[in-house]
Amino acid sequence: MKLRTITLIGGMIATAVLAGTAGAKAEDAYPNRVIHLIVPYPPGGGADTVARVVAQKLGENIHDTIIIENRAGAATNIGMEATVRATPDGYTLGLATSNLAINPPLYPNMKFHAKQDLAPVGLLTKGLYVLVVNKSVPANSVKELIALAKAKPGTLNAAIAGFGTPGHLALAQFNMLTGANLTPIPYQGAAPALNSVLSDTSQVLFISMASARPFVKAGSMRMLAITSSEHSAEMPSVPNAKEAGLPGDEIFEWYGIVAPKGVDPKHIAFLSTELRKVLTDADIQKKLSNLGAEASPDTHQQFGAFIDEQSKKLGEIVRRSGLKAQ
């Protein structure tokens, strides 16, 4: 029997995901008490929803309680620092995102270092990012968009759905490598950025496929490219980055689980194995797909290598583009 309750923890809203136990556990068994999963975003967004889908199933599988604890702010740094400072006993985990790779060069005074202070547990999902334009923009391809921006400099605005997001990096890379110089207009989140394009206040946006898809299908936006090497099963005609002529490194969204450094390797291995079971479950894969995310089960070693790779690629984009937190 599953039960969902709302718990107030340290002023933060947290959702407890409970699973029935098959009986009392030995005191030295792991896990044998509540696990906290810190999500560095407010409740209700894409990251939070992915975390809750995975936590619900993981809780059922390991017969223990998992509490989602939302600690938003500072481009995920608040939640990640809370994870780093937690007791390394395997009972506090963190939801890592692309920002784990993006933030270090943006925030040179960060109080933690991912490689030194966090232990990878497992990658959860990857999500496509896309380039969309308002339906009124007379460009049906990336090449035409670049030509238009250069022919009429200063006339095209590009919405940013949050500082330091993958979409922000995609725009910075696009401007830097094409010379298009789209004017960045910052917003606090995907919804206001999308509304800016829908109202024609902005004309261009790099954002997640899941966020853009309904508006593209409705005809109010046009999707010009996917910013990675992937294709969309739902929209197979949309070119990937190489086909569209998008320059630079691939950019996409990802979520994973990390723990404070020092957690018993046996606990890490156990959690990694259980996460892979969750992510290979057909029902979970369908739920994640409906959220615009692709389940990406791997080992904790593979996730560690993935973080290193992403840190190098995304960090280089930040450094080349000269982005800095204000």
**pLDDT, tens digit (0-9, with 9 covering 90-100), for 246-289:** 999 899 999 999 999 999 999 999 999 999 999 999 999 999 99
Write the CA distances from 132 to 75, 243, 269, 322, integer angstroms: 23, 16, 40, 24
| CB neighbour burial string for 81-115, b if at least 16 within 10 angstroms, e if fewer | bbbbebebebbbbbbbbbbbbbbbbbbeebebebe
Q: State the DSSP string of 190-243.
A: HHHHHHHHHTTS--EEEEEHHHHHHHHHHTSEEEEEESSS---SS-TTS--HHH
pLDDT at residue 19, as a whole number: 47
Q: What is the pTM of this model?
A: 0.85
By CB atoms closer than 10 A (0-12, 13-18, 19+), residue 225 is buried
Within 13 A of 260's CA, how many CA atoms are on the CB side?
Answer: 18
Whether the CB-CB separation of 60 and 29 falls below 8 Å is answered with no
Please report the domains of the chain, with CATH numbers, ordered by start residue: 3-126+253-321 (3.40.190.150), 129-244 (3.40.190.10)
For the CA atoms of 108, 109, 111, 114, what is the dihedral angle to 10 degrees?
0
CB burial class (10 A; 0-12, 13-18, 19+) of residue 218?
exposed
**Tokens 């940013």 -> residue:** 160
Task: For the chain, 326 residues long, give each residue's pLDDT as a single digit of tens.
Answer: 333 333 334 344 445 555 444 444 555 689 999 999 999 988 888 899 999 999 999 999 999 999 999 999 888 999 999 999 999 999 999 999 999 999 999 998 899 999 999 999 999 999 999 999 999 999 999 999 999 999 999 999 999 998 889 999 999 999 999 999 999 999 988 889 999 999 999 999 999 988 999 999 999 999 999 999 988 888 899 999 999 999 998 999 999 999 999 999 999 999 999 999 999 999 999 999 988 889 999 999 999 999 999 999 999 999 998 888 86
Vertex 89: Cα angle to 260 and 299 (nearest 5): 60
